[in-house]
Amino acid sequence: MADKIKWGILGTGKIAHKFTADLLLVQQAELTAVASRSIEKAARFGAEFHSAKYYGTYLELANDPEIDVVYIATPHVFHCENTLMCLKAGKSVLCEKPLGMNAREVGAMIREAKSSNLFLMEALWTRFIPATEKLI
């Protein structure tokens, strides 16, 4: 395994800013690239967080061979589309909640992740609170 997990960030909104600020505190993580529907927004976000690369399309980020995992922080209605795109490009995915808009979408994402042997998780931080861990 590589020394650091190389992350790509899909989306440049408020939640992506919060996530990325925390990601940079993790020694085993490296911000490799960011993508937005606007190259200007991607460039600003990339400069703020010292990203090596930035893209004006989500597909460019998904196809970047250096990225190990993608954090998806796009509007909810695009979570399924963006997650499937990243999984099909061979990337593991951490998707902001909700994972999908319905059970059909979530099922499709789970099937793709399993068939590709890739990690897929909803970014549900409460899952790792000690009290939650105890209940599970």
Q: pLDDT > 90: what percent of the chain?
A: 87
The CA distance from 119 to 130, in Å, is: 23
Q: Which amino acid is it at 43?
A: A
Fold topology of 5-135? Rossmann fold (3.40.50)
Confidence of residue 130 (pLDDT cuts 50, 70, 90): confident
Per the annotation, the verdict on 18 as an active-site residue is no
| Residue 10 scores a pLDDT above 80 | yes
Provide Rg for the chain, Cα atoms: 14
> 């090596």: which residue's tokens?
52
Q: At what angle do helices 14-23 and 39-49 cross, to 10 degrees?
A: 30
pTM attached to this predicted model: 0.91
Rounded to an integer, the average pLDDT of 33-37 is 98
Which one from 6, 97, 114, 134 is the annotated catalytic residue? Answer: 97
Q: Give residue limits of the domains in the chain.
A: 5-135
State the average pLDDT for the chain. Answer: 94
